[in-house]
Structure 1
Amino acid sequence: MTDQNPSAPTPPPLPPQSAAEAARAADPDDTGVPGVAGDAGDVGRGFLSALFDLSFRTFITRRLASVFYFVGLVAIGIGFLVYFVGGIIDALSVMWLNVGAGVSGLVATVIVVPVLTFLAIILLRFVIEAVVALIAIAENTERTAQHTRR
């Protein structure tokens, strides 16, 4: 006689490979952005050929997203400095004629300019993420369409 209970459930079958092997085989970067492989000159050639691709089969937006974000942050920072310093100077100059208007302008500058700058940074990030997500969807859809054609 065996000690096994015939009503006990049997364990499910094991997968053909271990989890560690599956993790090594899977692409850890599932963003769809092509990795840098080979010579650095190859990356530049790929970028230039994508830049002048008149059929728009290759997207460069994902490669340039960080550059766009950095340039946008610099532009927002310059705008912040211009409006903040200009607002303070204007408020101080108005204070000579009307103290209440000068103080109001100073308080408005100190509160409104940083808040609008913060909102501009959020909006910039939102727009760039939305464009990158849209490009990722387009690339993944194209990849799916290529794999389903037979």
Structure 2
Amino acid sequence: MSDPAVPPVPPLPSRPASVAAAQGSPSPASGAAAGGYDPATDPDDTGVPSPVADPAGAGRGFVRALFDLSFRTFITRRLAGVFYVVGLVAIGIGFLYYFLRGLILGITMLVPPFVNIGGGVALLISTIIVVPIVAFLAVVLLRFVIEAVVALIAIAENTQRTADRASD
């Protein structure tokens, strides 16, 4: 009877890692023994893009993907940073507009001819508290949405790569 508090010891490999690396192992893609590690046949593709061989032609892939009517090439991952910056600028402009407008209207309510001390103070306090909180939540929501879309596109790309490998 074994003690449930002690985890089982995993089995040892049949040969040391140094021997396995020197001898090579069968490649899942080719089914034949290889002389060592070959990244081209590595089944663990992490989805990290390889460097562009021709930096001058890097933009052509974007334009080609932009007019891909079959939607097999995704541009969302490439534009995520741009969308985030544009969203941050829009949120910043909205923050400044509503913050300054609330302050100006609150101060206007404190001076004649529109004297409303309670309303002016309430508007000033709520502007100082509510507008920054709403702007912060808007930034968080923007980030969540962009990350969700990028993750969804990454899943679609990885699924397509897996399907392509399975059909070969």
For the criterion TM > 0.5, the same-fold answer is: yes
Residue 104 of structure 1 pairs with residue 122 of structure 2? yes
Q: CA deviation digits over 1:28-51, x for unaligned, max 9?
A: x93x35344123221100000000
Relative to its length, the structure with more helix (as a share) is 1
One of 73, 77, 83 as aligned partner of 1:62 = 77
Name the residue aligned to 1:141. Answer: 159
Residue 14 of structure 1 pairs with residue 32 of structure 2? no
Question: Structure 1 length as normaliser, TM-score?
Answer: 0.82
Question: For residues 36 and 103 of structure 1, what CA distance do their matches in structure 2 show?
Answer: 58
Q: CA deviation digits over 1:85-143, x for unaligned, max 9?
A: 11100111112211111000000000000000000000000000000000000000000
Question: Sequence identity of aligned pairs in percent?
Answer: 59
SS in 2 for 1:17: helix
In structure 1, what residue type is equivalent to 2:129?
Answer: I
Residue 72 of structure 1 pairs with residue 80 of structure 2? no
Question: For residues 67 and 16 of structure 2, what CA distance do their matches in structure 1 show?
Answer: 50
Q: CA deviation digits over 1:52-107, x for unaligned, max 9?
A: 00000000000000000011001100110011011100111112211111000000
Name the residue aligned to 2:3. Answer: none
Question: For residues 33 and 117 of structure 1, what CA distance do their matches in structure 2 show?
Answer: 33
One of 85, 94, 100 as aligned partner of 2:109 = 94
Does the 8 Å CA contact 1:76/1:120 hold for their aligned counterparts?
A: yes
**How many pairs does the alignment contain?**
136
SS in 1 for 2:153: helix
Does the 8 Å CA contact 1:33/1:62 hold for their aligned counterparts?
A: no
Over 3 Å counting, the alpha-carbon distance change for 1:11 and 1:144 in structure 2 is: closer
In structure 1, what residue type is equivalent to 2:16?
Answer: L
Question: For residues 81 and 35 of structure 1, what CA distance do their matches in structure 2 show?
Answer: 41
Question: For residues 51 and 96 of structure 2, what CA distance do their matches in structure 1 show?
Answer: 37
Structure 2: unaligned runs, 5 residues or longer: 1-10, 23-35
Question: Structure 2 length as normaliser, TM-score?
Answer: 0.73
SS in 1 for 2:71: coil
Question: For residues 120 and 59 of structure 1, what CA distance do their matches in structure 2 show?
Answer: 26
Question: For residues 139 and 95 of structure 2, what CA distance do their matches in structure 1 show?
Answer: 11
Q: Cα RMSD over matched residues?
A: 2.4
